[in-house]
Amino acid sequence: MRQSLSVPNFLWKLLFIIVVLIVWEIIAKLRIFSAFVFPSISDTIIYMITHPQRLLEASSVTFKLLLAGLAIGSALSLSASSIASLSSKFRHILETYVTIANPIPSTSLIPFALLWFGLGEDPIIFVTMFSSLCPFIIATLSGFQTMKSIYWDIGKMYGLSKVNLTRYILLPASFPHILTGFRTAWGSSWRTVVAAELIFGAVGEGGGLGWLIYVNRFHLNPAGMLACLICICIIGIITEQVLELTERKTIKKWGMKV
């Protein structure tokens, strides 16, 4: 009996990317649009080959700011959600904060961040941190509130305190929601840090990918702009693969997700 060939998921994703790049290159070579608004993939690759150090330095600056803001936001969100699981009054306060803060675009706080922190890395880290709070809190609170009550009952049977209940039962049982919240917060923070760099400009010794996009736009270099976007996509793909691996090694291995 013939067995159907199964193609790994990552090959389908790779095939889709290749098809998109080929179609993009064909459209660019046909000159349907001006090269200033629709650069070719070949020109973009040439830019990436001739400016590897600049792209790597810009990527490292952006990634460093992203990790700083995301780490602070994740720590605050997880701590606040854990406290909310122990106190109904604090949970109401936290839910009110989410209701107020969630509709606010993080980039709209940039003028305030400039006033509060001045120029440099701090305002970018602040708006990046702010963008990660609500997605993480919403997912974590959802995980805490949907956890089966039998877990609480088992913990109480063993005489665990509220703190230990949260540490040893609530957090592990809600890990799928926490990981989902982190992935959502990652995407929100990634978009925010690039947008903030476009506005703030260079920080420290140099600028990140957002600033490099602005510089290439100023010099009418669309291939350079597209190269920066490709770097953003590559970092996003790598990060997504790491998160999927984490999910396979934890949630799926523990039988918490099919």
Q: What is the pLDDT of residue 130?
A: 94
Nearest CA among 187, 199, 185 for reference residue 233: 187
* C-alpha span between 109 and 179 (Å, rounded): 27
Q: What is the pLDDT of residues 75-101, one digit of tens each?
A: 999 899 888 888 889 999 999 999 999
Give the per-residue pLDDT at 94. 92
Q: What is the pLDDT of residue 46?
A: 92
pLDDT of residue 50: 92
Using alpha carbons, select from 116, 113, 131 the residue that is nearest to residue 199: 113
Q: What is the pLDDT of residue 220?
A: 87
pLDDT of 4 reads 47
Q: What is the pLDDT of residue 137?
A: 92
pLDDT, residue 206, reads 65
Return d(Cα 40, Cα 31) in angstroms, integer. 10
Say what the pLDDT of residue 257 is: 61
Task: Output the pLDDT for position 84.
Answer: 87
Q: Residue 49: its pLDDT value, please?
A: 93
Q: Alpha helix (H) ranges present in the chain? A: 9-29, 41-50, 52-86, 88-101, 110-117, 121-145, 149-157, 162-165, 171-173, 175-200, 209-218, 222-247
Residue 57's alpha-carbon distances to 54, 66, 207, 208, in angstroms, are: 5, 14, 8, 7
* pLDDT value, residue 253: 65
* Model pLDDT, residue 136: 92
Q: What is the predicted pLDDT for the residue at 107?
A: 86
Q: Which residue ranges form the domains of the chain, and what is each CATH number?
A: 55-252 (1.10.3720.10)
Q: What is the pLDDT of residue 205?
A: 53
Q: Report the pLDDT value the prediction gives residue 8, as an integer from 0 to 100.
A: 65
Task: Please report the pLDDT score of residue 29 as a whole number.
Answer: 86
pLDDT of residue 1: 43
Residue ranges in the chain whose pLDDT is less than 70: 1-10, 201-206, 252-258
How do residues 182-214 score in pLDDT, each as one tens digit?
Answer: 888 998 999 899 888 887 765 555 678 888 998
